[in-house]
Amino acid sequence: MAMDSAMTLSAESSFHALETGFTRAFARSRAAIAEFEIVLAARPVRLRVVGDGLGRWISRPFAHLRRPLTAAPPALRIDLWEGAPPSGVPPMPASPMQPSEILASDDARWLSQRKPHIWMAFDRHASHIVVWVADSRTLTAYEQGRPLHSQLLRWHADVGVPVVHAGMVAIDGDGLLIAGPGGSGKSTVALACAGAGFAYLADDYVGLAHQDGAYTGHSVYCSSHVDAQHIGHFPAAAAAARRSGLLTTEGKALLFVTDMPGARLDATATLAAIVLPRVRGGITRVTPATQVEAMIQLAPTSLHMIPLASFSEGFARLSRLVSATPAYWLDLGDDVERIPRLLAPLLTARLPRLEA
Amino acid sequence: MRAFAKHPEVIYTELEDGAVLLHLDSGFYYSLDRVGLEIWRQVNAGVPIEAIAPALTQRFEVGQETAAAAIDAFVDQLVRERVIAPHDPAAAAAPAAPTAAAPATSPRTPFQAPTIVKHDEPLHQVSTHPFDPQLPLAE
């Protein structure tokens, strides 16, 4: 009977089961309880974590966004605990790569995503995410680099800072959005720039706020996933990847840019231009791109990745973005070390620090 | 008189150098060039195909006969891709007139045969799963 009632868990009851589980773990735990604050989309986000390993997991990708606890009411609360699952809920059959079980309430207020080793539920009205993790040592490299990916993308859209599938780097607060489908070279470009004096915001996901005619990019994660065979081009990134020692199932090295010697990370930047990398061979060069080309590079993956998002609204939003922002192709050749020198003039006449 | 209407599941945006269409049923993206966009506007406004050529000749350096042939070929492509479908003008109060032709004093721009490019992979194949980005999408 317990199984039957568990099988009919709704998204809302999933959230409440997790919330109750967290409250008990928080009250009973003799393990370390951490409470800290980060800034996402220019808003305070408060995290409460029960479990040492879990604390290390959740804090690392947001290390660049952390700030001392404030009295400000959080725009988002995230509660996490590690250990025994909520009582009365049978375990899912274990299969490491099986797709998540997804539940959403009819009104889309409640959202639950469950795997055998991790269960996340989101109450969008209350801006509250609760997470259970069986054992933080079993989290995949992807989960370690981009924790709570779907829930945070949904929340960013809820607060008017929808995330696009792009990287971002900046000089003196002026940013380049690096857009393209998987395999186009976004991470290569972001890491090349991060190693040459640009500030790093993202290699794959960046929130974009639009206000008073300007777009502001907001960093989410300081992690980067780069093709292991390309990382040799970037000694500082290679050092960071060795430190993390993690490989994704796609054969990409996971690194935290905070571990890159000399790297600077920014939380926000004002968008100046869109760069569209594509692997071409030969000599790396920059040429103007049209609005249609920018839309085709940016829209397909950006539109699909936000859970419960309206394609029509997203399509119109990206159309406004490409109409308002100059775009350039970056044809990637064999001389990737030239990337920062080619991109810096799109932002400023001054070359980045290490290229001068 | 043949007239067409946009498929209800097609969304599109007009940009400086053409247009981008997304067919929500198939997941395919399409791009149109400037001439294609001009024809798309007229078709989408319910203008009968036979009435579009004069509008095109006012905007572009092209004769009536070439324009009519180009429009026919282009509309055939739009129909094949199911981004438009035949529309019964009798159902409308009156056939639409060509829209917003450029003023006669505007210089005409060079003409190239209109193109529609279907982008290689539909949305659901190029995209990652919104909840499990590290996993391939289920078929």
Cα–Cα distances in angstroms (integers) from residue B50 to residues A215, B56, B59, B97, in the given order: 44, 11, 17, 11
Q: Are A237 and A260 in contact (CB under 8 A)?
A: yes
**Does the pLDDT value for residue B128 go beyond 60?**
no
CA A107 to chain centre: 26
> What pLDDT shows up at residue A352?
44
Cross-chain residue pair A100–B128, CB shorter than 8 Å: no
The pLDDT value recorded for residue A101 is 87
- Contact check, Cβ <8 Å, B17/A319: no
Question: What is the pLDDT confidence band of residue A247, given thresholds at 50, 70 and 90?
Answer: confident
State the Cα–Cα distance between residues A301 and A318, nearest whole angstrom: 12
Distance from CA of A153 to the nearest CA of B (A): 9
pLDDT band at A263 (very low <50, low <70, confident <90, very high): very high
Most confident of A19-28, A120-129, B93-102: A120-129
In the block, tokens 């993390």 appear at A244
What are the distances in angstroms from CA A234 to CA A24, A149, A347? Answer: 46, 26, 22
Q: What angle do CA A218, A221, A223 make, to 5 degrees?
A: 140
**Structural contact between residues B76 and B59, judged by C-beta atoms closer than 8 angstroms:** no
Q: CB of A138 within 8 A of CB of A146?
A: no
In DSSP terms, B19 is beta-bridged to B14, B32
Tens-place pLDDT, residues A76-128: 999 999 988 888 777 776 665 678 888 999 999 999 999 989 999 999 999 99
Decide: pTM greater than 0.80.
yes
**A99 vs B123: CB contact, 8 Å cut-off?**
no
pLDDT of residue A96: 56
Give yes or no for residue B100 having a pLDDT over 70.
no
Which of A29-43, A46-60, A177-191, A317-331 is least confident? A29-43
With CB atoms and an 8 Å threshold, state whether A291 touches B16: yes
The pLDDT assigned to A232 comes to 82
pLDDT score recorded for residue A5: 42
Please state the rounded mean pLDDT for residues A268-292.
96
User: What local confidence, expressed as pLDDT, does residue A2 receive?
Assistant: 37
- State the average pLDDT over residues A224-228: 86
For residue B132, list chain A residues with Cβ-Cβ distance below 8 A.
Answer: 99-100
pLDDT in tens, A282-334: 999 999 999 999 999 999 889 888 888 899 999 999 999 999 999 999 999 98
Question: Considering chain A, what percentage of its residues have pLDDT values greater than 70?
Answer: 93
Average pLDDT rounded to a whole number, residues A21-26: 93
Q: A195 Cβ partners below 8 Å, 6+ apart?
A: A234, A235, A236, A237, A260, A262, A263, A340, A354
Give yes or no for a contact between B5 and B82, defined as CB atoms under 8 angstroms apart. no
**Residues paired with A176 in a beta bridge:** A169, A273
**Both structure tokens of A78:** 């995230």
Q: Nearest-CA distance from B25 to chain A in Å?
A: 12
**Dist. CA A306–CA A148, nearest whole Å:** 12
**pLDDT at res. B139:** 26
- A29 vs A222, residue with greater confidence: A222
β pairing state of B60-61 and B29-32: unpaired
The DSSP result for A171-238, as a single string, is ETTEEEEEE-STTSSHHHHHHHHHTTTPEEEESSEEEEEEETTEEEEEE---EEEEETTTGGG-HHHH
Interface residue of A291, A297, A301 to substitute, partner B, most B CBs within 10 Å = A291
Q: Could you say which of B15, B128, B134 has the minimum Cβ distance to residue A249?
A: B134
Task: Report pLDDT for B105.
Answer: 60
CB contact under 8 A, A315 and B11: yes
Residue-wise pLDDT tens digits, A130-184: 999 999 998 988 899 999 999 999 999 999 999 999 999 999 999 999 999 888 9
Asked whether A103 and A73 are in contact (CB, 8 A), the reply is: no
Q: What is the pLDDT of residue A6?
A: 44
Please give the backbone phi and psi of residue B73, each rounded to the nearest 5 degrees, phi first.
-65, -40
Chain A residues near any Cβ of chain B (below 8 Å): 97, 99-100, 102, 113, 140, 142, 146, 149-150, 153, 181-182, 248-250, 290-292, 295-296, 299-301, 303-307, 311-312, 315-316, 319, 322-323
Burial class (CB in 10 A: 0-12, 13-18, 19+), A344: buried
How much of chain B, in percent, has pLDDT values that exceed 90? Answer: 66
Return the structure tokens found at B25: 């049923």
DSSP 8-state class, residue A259: G
Higher-scoring residue by pLDDT: A117, A39: A39
Which chain B residues have any C-beta within 8 angstroms of a chain A C-beta? Answer: 11, 13, 15-20, 22, 24, 29, 31-32, 119, 123-124, 126-135, 138
Q: What is the separation, in whole angstroms, between the first and last Cα of chain B?
A: 42
Provide the token pair at A48: 């409460």
List the single best residue of B10, B17, B20 to mutate versus A (max A Cβ within 10 A): B20
**Where does chain A have alpha helices with state H?**
2-7, 11-28, 52-59, 141-145, 149-158, 186-194, 235-244, 291-304, 311-324, 339-347
Mean of per-residue pLDDT scores for chain A: 90
Token pair of B79, please? Answer: 């129909």
Predicted local confidence at residue B91, as pLDDT: 63
DSSP-derived secondary structure for A268-294:
EEEEEEEEEEEE--SS-EEEEE-HHHH
Q: How far is A292 from chain B (nearest CA, A)?
A: 6
Q: What is the pLDDT of residue A8?
A: 63
Tokens of B106: 């505007």
Mutate which of B7, B134, B137 to test chain A, going by most A C-beta atoms within 10 A? B134
Residue-wise pLDDT tens digits, B20-61: 999 999 989 999 999 999 999 999 999 999 999 999 999 999
